[in-house]
Amino acid sequence: MDESRETAWHVMPVREVAAALGTDPECGLSAEEAARRLAEHGQNLLAPPVKVPAWKKFLAQFNDFMIWVLMAAVVISAIEHQLLEAFAITAILLLNGFLGFIQEYRAEQALEALKQMAAPTATVVRDGVEQEVPAAELVPGDVVILEAGDKVPADGRLIEAASLKVDESSLTGESRPVSKHADAECELHCALGDRSTMVYAGTTVAVGRGRFIVTETGQATEMGRIADLLAQQEEEATPLQRELKGVGKRIATLILAIATIVFAVGAWQAYNASGETSLFAALAHEAFRARLTVALLVAISLAVAAIPEGLPAIVTVALSLGVRKMAEHNAIVRKLHAVETLGSTTFICSDKTGTITRNEMAVRRVVVGLDGADILPDWALQPDDLTPDPAGLDLLLEIAASCNDAHFTADGTLVGDPTETALVVAADALAESRRRPRRVAEIPFDSERKRMTTVHVVDGRPVAYVKGGADVVLGLCTHALVRGKRVALDETMRHRILAINTELAASGFRTLAIAFRELDDATVDEPSAVERDLTYVGIVGLVDPPRPEAAEAIATCRRAGIEVAMVTGDHALTARAIAQQVGLSDDGEVLTGVEIERMSDDELYEAVARTRLYARVDPAHKLRIVEALKRHGHIVAMTGDGVNDAPALKRADIGVAMGRVGTDVSREAADMVLADDNFATIVEAVRMGRAVYDNLKKFILFLLSCNVSEVLIIFVTTFFADRPALLPLQILWINLITDGFPALALGVDPASPRVMERPPRDASESVLARKRQAQVLWQGALITVAGLIMYVWADLFMPGHSFERAQTMLFSAMVLAQLVHAFSFRSESRSIFSAYSLKNRWLNVAFAGSLLLQLGVVYLPPLQRVFKTQPLSVSDWLAVIAAAIVPTVLIDITKRLVARSSARSAPTEPVSA
């Protein structure tokens, strides 16, 4: 491909380009040849960043200050001949590192799978058949079809261009779209922006359509030459991850201060026990050094166990798994922060066509001329039965099928926009003549103009065919075709046509007006020069029935406290009819684009508070609607599919692009892409977003409350005992088995059945708001108090018990209490002793597995020697169980009292404990 870079494709005629690349401009490459070239040239991708080897990722798990401190503790233990402790700490460090590596690997795999699902595609012609392939599989010589809104997938020489303009700002810096022409003449050494016969990877089709032969792919493209790796942007930390990082720093500072105090007190106690009058003299005693080492290890272990350094990794894993699960339900989340935001969505602005409706258009009414009687029932296949003006019907259907980009592929498949394919089907079924005049020019459909115009040669003369919204097209008409005669269009006739259109729209039809104009020449310089003095022919009514699941999805939103508005470019009456069918609007009040245009921002701010139906809106109106709703404090999700929808999608809190009919531009601007373009998928994504965020809160609060209990145990006993209540390895072990599998199991907790029966969470609410901090402290303190009471009783009052046995009981009680505590976080309104608590099978497995590991530490002789434990009797275990269950019962009673109090004020069910 290096040689091709020097080839002046932009000055070569199309036939020479095709010959040089060994392709057919009409039929493209064969599938076999495309596969061969893909193997030769590689995928059409920019060079990815250098991958970090797995061993480096594993070592990176130990690149943490607290881990370094613990490694230093291993060295100190070895120097002091405490080899067993040194070995055990090393083993736990390696296990922690391995778990961190696995979590990071799973997160990367989930994100990589997401990138593959969201990868761009391209429409190519191979073996003479149009087909959609991943853009990465394009090869030199492929023939690619472009439509407005598409992102150009590779560099190429244009074969044809119909009013084609391309936004090349990402490549050249030119802010205005550049006109492209397949037959233009370019200078050999002209600048990139002046090569009007070429299109380049990474640019975007602003308007029009075209076909081109791929000349370069991947790193050989102009985008590759300047190393513009926009597609490889690094994932930014989500707001929650940034919040936790800040919280982690504050916690680390506090814990390090506590650990310092613990070490200082332990060192002082060791010094007093030595009986020496100076520190240097005490250092000569092996017993003093041993106790000093233990105090240091306790302080270090406490810090490592208490600081939640693993939280960001677990958050990433939970978010990534949530993203994958959403993708399985056709909601492809492009940005991790969207998962968090979905849980707080309060307002969804949804398009109608294809989202609330099926996007399966079919012509069901045809009106020719002015006679209201021409509003037809569901049509049969005999034109004579349909209208008293068969000649007018033929012309109407000819215009509808010709001013149309839908077409048949080589294998007979009809492809194109659903509305346009419906018009072609109707024309083929109803028209006596199937004439398709040759198209010589066109003015593509634009969401602002709401019409499309094509120029054809009919009987040797150029004629403009126009289709679009009835109110728009009729405004450009000066005449009407009535019974085969062209007559002046007066106000009475205009009023009658609009009344017919209104009647159709009120019945739920999408209407298109059809018109034409004979031209002096086929040149299209400005739309205004062609789209004037039109002759009205008739109206076509199409039906796009609502999706059967739309009504239930809208009802679910209402139960969840989420407002829904339909924002469509269709006629107001059509919007009202569909809205009534899906239960969206009770009063049927509609705000149109024309009315929005006349409103000030303050007036629109007032209007959006009561409006749930918007019709005849363009993308600029969508942007204003989003901004007005955000002024009300709403968290807004907005759908869109066109190029001009990108600003509204970016401005919305959750931009939702269509996966089937959406453009590449809208998908790139969006936070989420609907693979099935279904409104119910948005609602399902909101449900899952709520569940993911709830799970994040669950394990964050669970981990912190457990860590608080460990810190308090060590801190309190440091001042009232001459030996640490828990050994360094025991602290690390508690941290390992409670911060590991139970926390991860909470991260995949099934959604509460009532997750969509409570209002959205406040987006400004911190996951560690003051009430949550208080919750963490009092729950951790309760576990601590129960453990300490049992510890003191076992050490001082149980007959025949040694300190080591009491220490083992406290060690086991802390493990069991924290494992049981995890079940408290499954629901705040339901008791931990209900069957609901056992419905997370992964948490059940984590509990059983962690408990078995603890039993091994207590009863297996090799592990007893490592962890300094003693076997416990049945009575010992009864005391341990009591110490674990009593705080659980008190927490359970408290949370249910709080839930009842909350239920009186609001029908909500927070899921965190």
Residues belonging to the active site: 351
- Which 3 state secondary structure label does DSSP give 538? strand
Per the CB < 8 A criterion, the answer to whether 338 and 637 are in contact is no
Residues 314, 248: Cα–Cα separation, whole Å: 13
Rounded to the nearest 10°, the torsion over CA 119, 124, 129, 131 is 10
Residues 6+ apart with CB under 8 A from 672: 331, 332, 333, 334, 338, 342, 654, 655, 656, 657, 685
Return the DSSP state at 699: H
- Which 3 state secondary structure label does DSSP give 295? helix
Residues 133, 208: Cα–Cα separation, whole Å: 21
Tracing tokens 């045809």 back to the chain, one arrives at: 366
Q: Considering only CA atoms, which of 575, 574, 618 is closest in space to residue 593?
A: 618
What six digits make up the tokens of 105? 């690997």
Q: Considering only CA atoms, which of 726, 564, 674 is closest in space to residue 629?
A: 564
What six digits make up the tokens of 396? 């109407």
DSSP assignments along 594-640, one per residue: HHHHH--HHHHHHHHTT--EEES--HHHHHHHHHHHHHTT--EEEEE
Q: How many CB atoms lie within 10 A of CB 750?
A: 14
Q: How many CB atoms lie within 10 A of CB 413?
A: 11
Per the CB < 8 A criterion, the answer to whether 612 and 564 are in contact is yes
Residues 270, 717: Cα–Cα separation, whole Å: 15
Residues 367, 382: Cα–Cα separation, whole Å: 15
Helix (H) / strand (E) element for 279: namely helix 279-282
Q: Considering only CA atoms, which of 573, 565, 576 is closest in space to residue 622?
A: 565
Residues 6+ apart with CB under 8 A from 115: none
Per the CB < 8 A criterion, the answer to whether 463 and 516 are in contact is yes
Per the CB < 8 A criterion, the answer to whether 745 and 846 are in contact is yes
Tracing tokens 């099935």 back to the chain, one arrives at: 676
Residues 890, 820: Cα–Cα separation, whole Å: 13
Residues 556, 186: Cα–Cα separation, whole Å: 58
For residues 145-174, one letter each, b for 16 or more C-beta atoms within 10 angstroms of the residue's C-beta and e for the rest, the string is: bbbbbbbbbbbbbbbbbbbbbbbbebbbee
When computed from its CA atoms, the radius of gyration of the chain, rounded to whole angstroms, is 35
Per the CB < 8 A criterion, the answer to whether 515 and 489 are in contact is no
Per the CB < 8 A criterion, the answer to whether 212 and 157 are in contact is yes
- Which 3 state secondary structure label does DSSP give 367? strand
Per the CB < 8 A criterion, the answer to whether 674 and 738 are in contact is no
- Which 3 state secondary structure label does DSSP give 828? coil
What six digits make up the tokens of 51? 């991958």
Per the CB < 8 A criterion, the answer to whether 515 and 537 are in contact is yes
Q: How many residues are recorded in the chain?
A: 913
Residues 6+ apart with CB under 8 A from 546: 356, 357, 358, 578, 581, 582
Per the CB < 8 A criterion, the answer to whether 813 and 883 are in contact is yes
Residues 551, 356: Cα–Cα separation, whole Å: 9
